[in-house]
Amino acid sequence: MPDRTIYLDHAATTPVSPTALAAMLPYFGEIYGNASGIYRQGRLAKQALEEARRTVAEVLHAHPSEVVFTSCGSESDNLVLRGIMWAALRAGRGRHLIISAVEHKAVLETAHQLAELFDCEVTELPVDGYGRVDPDDLRRAIRPDTALISIMTANNEVGTLQPIAALAAVAHAYGIPFHTDAVQAPGHLPLDVQALGVDALALSGHKFYGPKGVGVTWLRSGLSLVPVQTGGSHEGKRRAGTENVAGIVGLAAALREAEDLRPAETTRLLELRNRLLDAIPALIPNTRISGHPHERLPHHASFLFAGIEIQGVLMGLDMAGIAASSGSACTSAAQTPSHVLTAMGVSAADAVGHLRLTLGRSTTAEDIEEVLRVLPPLVQRLRRLQSGNW
């Protein structure tokens, strides 16, 4: 096992940055009050919480009262889908939900459960070969009883960006609220909710060098929603549960830092990432890029290698000290062909040969060259093994 891991799975998770960790530490032992307490310890916790809320609102170009802290990106998506659909059902405003076929499971499975158990109807919009939704398809799918549209900002598996502003404009032409799972965006894409024109947005701390176990749902003021986790009147009665002050402070510090570093990091990572996109198909025959060639996350490279199952490649890379994945960490245990690749028209036989390399702050040019040394012989050896020619 080499000394240093070349970690290329930043779309799955990132380490907590020293800045975010330093911001969090006082809230474990020193300032530990319950933010609902009337005494000094409680007030200090409450101040930290509201300062974090202002920071997040500032990055999103939103109002602090619109920021709801949750426990993760999945909860953030669940809150929007369940909360808005339940509110619509209760008010008789409709039962129809539109999503795309390439959403994260947190949206997809929630939509399915809403259909199965709560009398909603779901339309899954198709995508093109790059994984993109066509705004015209959205327009055609809208019905008089459509209560919510949810389309992700950027795909976790193949990196493709959706035309969010155009899609949100279609939704608004029909007066329908538009949610976007923006979990992959911070540090890589602008997060101005006014420019995006969305009405709700989900973030997850650990995707941008903040801690695991904390997320954000941003909800445009006026958007009505039934709370999904009920109890105390925390988070403006939108999400019950004692506030995770340390986690929230860490998330806010990490989001601020990710936004501050974004211009320089995007330039740096684009160059490294483009080297992978150019070199890997050139070095390894029968290989193609998955997702859009340039309308994609700047740190995200992904490939389809014909004729192999990727597990062997991932294990070989791990042996060489390179951490990578097949696409979604959330479904990697499942071993079924990715719903994203399937929706893009990739055959089940090809989909099992999918590799995702996502770069981050620790990634160097040397790391990329090491991948280019290790990967081609590994793929070739596995192709020989798996085809039985050995």
Binding of a second copy at residue 126 (CB under 8 A)? no
Burial 211-229 (b: 16+ CB within 10 A, else e): bbbbbbbbbbeebebbbbb
Q: What does the alpha-carbon distance between residue 76 and residue 227 come to, in Å, rounded to a whole number?
A: 12
Name which of residues 289 to 308 contact a second copy (CB under 8 A).
none
Q: Which of residues 92-111 bind a second copy (CB under 8 A)?
A: 104-110
Residue 233: CB partners within 8 Å, gap ≥ 6?
A: 240
The two three-digit tokens of residue 308, written as one number:
């192999």
Nearest residue (CB) to a second copy, 240 versus 372: 240
Residue whose CB is less far from a second copy, 91 or 173:
91
Write down the least CB distance from residue 234 to a second copy, Å: 7
Q: Which CB, 7 or 305, lies closer to a second copy?
A: 7
Nearer to a second copy, 142 or 154 (CB): 154
With CB under 8 A as the contact rule, the residue among 65, 194, 233, 347 that binds a second copy is 233
Burial (CB count within 10 angstroms: exposed 0-12, middle 13-18, buried 19+), residue 388: exposed
The residue written with tokens 């802290």 in the block is 69
Q: d(Cα 262, Cα 264) in Å, to the nearest integer?
A: 6
Q: Partners of 215 in the beta sheet?
A: 70, 204
Catalytic-residue membership of 120: no
Of the listed pieces 57-65, 256-264, 332-340, 381-389, which binds a second copy according to CB under 8 A?
A: 332-340
Where does this chain touch a second copy (CB under 8 A) — which range of 217-225, 241-249, 257-265, 363-371? 241-249
Binding test (CB under 8 A) with a second copy, winner from 60, 246, 269, 308: 246
| The binder of a second copy chosen from 94, 227, 298, 353 (CB under 8 A) | 227
Per DSSP (E only), the strands in 230-386 are 287-289, 300-305, 322-323, 354-358
| 55-94 positions binding a second copy, by CB under 8 A | 70-75, 77-78, 86, 90
The residues annotated as belonging to the active site are 330
